[in-house]
Amino acid sequence: MPLLIDYLACFPLSKEDERLMMRAFDAALAAEGVSHVCYVSLTVCDDANIQAINKQTRHIDQPTDVLSFPTISYPDKQTAKDVPWFLQSAFNPDEKAVDLGEIFISKEHASKQAQTYGHSLQRELCYLLVHGVLHLLGHDHITSKEKATMRTKEEQAMKKMGLPEPDKNGMLKLAIEAMENSYSPYSHFPVGACLLTQDGSLYTGCNIENASYGLSNCAERTACFKAVSEGHRRFQAIAIAAKNTAPWPCGACRQVLSEFAPASMPIYVTWDGNTLESTLGQLLPHAFSPEYGIDAFLGKEK
């Protein structure tokens, strides 16, 4: 499936970058379940160029990482998977493919974000392209539900490429963002968590307190229960963010996590710019879990 790439002379892509982005494009279409032959016009530029486009088209005078301009207007809250026949309206006989629209990516912005998240520029460029293509296919992230759906699609695409999200820094950043939604009027101790499932999906959560203290819920369990309610049963890693002190999970959270994660699962914590790392097994040795608890005692298969 073609990806038409254009870029400024000072911001070229290597042949390897182009091949990876071709794979990212195909993976994004596959994540949405699109079988039509499609193409996208991709322009790689710098912050100044994308800022000018932002100002002209969105009246926002600042640079962003990626902009998408779809050719197809989907019905409200629907995407290409819901109404695949809409793709035919954008069929280009000259290209013999569906014209999904235009995507602009600031390589300068992507480079800064790659450094912030601690991964490669290639991975960031591929992620931004996947994100942009999903916008062209009708996805958005205005509401929390839309954001979660889009995030799942992004993770499916990145996993298909062999570039699953996230790394340690990316998870910590999402945990910090989740902390902002904390409801903690009694402890005044906001906590956020980001959980990575076995298939590469991400779930975030915050602590939610209650006037009856025993009914409060920790950020880790909020993220865990969200993942389990969506059908996930194995976890790969969790990141936890707070302020003033290291937010190691409480005993209850360690026990809940051990139900769905191996003892080797990494646990990252961050507070006030500090970070530490441990494993679930180190925090909860000899856990009573499917791995080491009653099933093992009874000699059952894992």
Q: Which CATH number goes with the domain that contains 176?
A: 3.40.140.10
d(CA 213, CA 217): 9
- Name the active-site residue from 165, 220, 259, 291: 220
Expressed in angstroms, the distance from the first to the final Cα of the chain is 42
d(CA 98, CA 91): 4
Q: Where do we find the tokens 């309206």?
A: 89
Structure tokens at 272: 């006030």
Nearest of 162, 165, 218 to residue 193 by alpha carbon: 218
Nearest of 265, 267, 259, 266 to residue 293 by alpha carbon: 259
Whole-Å CA distances, 195 to 55, 237, 241: 36, 6, 12
Whole-Å CA distances, 270 to 58, 109, 159, 173, 286: 35, 25, 26, 9, 26
Which of the listed ranges 53-57, 164-168, 201-205 does the model predict with the highest average pLDDT? 53-57
Q: Is 200 helix (H, G, I), strand (E, B) or coil?
A: coil
Q: Which of 160, 191, 224 is the last residue of a domain?
A: 160
pLDDT at 2 over 90: no
d(CA 285, CA 255): 10
Q: Which of 132, 160, 188 is the last residue of a domain?
A: 160
pLDDT at 294 over 70: no
Do residues 268 and 237 touch, judged by C-beta distance below 8 A?
yes
Question: pTM to 2 decimals?
Answer: 0.57
Q: For residues 68 and 90, state if they share a domain.
A: yes
pLDDT > 90: percent of the chain: 62
pLDDT value at position 302? Answer: 40
Q: Is the peptide bond before 166 cis (omega within 30 degrees of 0)?
A: yes
- Whether 220 is catalytic is yes
The dihedral sign for the CA sequence 25, 31, 32, 37? positive
d(CA 2, CA 251): 52
pLDDT value at position 301? Answer: 42
Q: What's the domain count of the chain?
A: 2
pLDDT at 215 over 60: yes
pLDDT tens digit sequence for 240-256: 999 999 999 999 999 99
pLDDT value at position 6? Answer: 53
| Phi/psi at 5 (5° precision) | -105, 130
pLDDT at 221 over 60: yes
Q: Which of 142, 160, 178 is the last residue of a domain?
A: 160
Query: How many CB atoms within 10 Å of residue 212?
Result: 7
pLDDT value at position 197? Answer: 85
pLDDT tens digit sequence for 253-289: 999 999 998 887 899 999 999 999 999 989 999 888 8
Which segments within 137-254 are labelled E, that is strand?
A: 192-197, 202-206, 235-242
pLDDT value at position 275? Answer: 96
d(CA 176, CA 290): 31
Mean pLDDT estimate for the chain:
88
* CATH assignment at residue 82: 3.40.390.30
Note down the domain range covering 196.
168-298
* Mean predicted confidence (pLDDT) in 168-192: 96
pLDDT at 1 over 50: no
Q: Which residue has the higher pLDDT, 183 or 7?
A: 183
d(CA 21, CA 3): 8
Structure tokens at 160: 């298909």
Q: For residues 113 and 189, state if they share a domain.
A: no
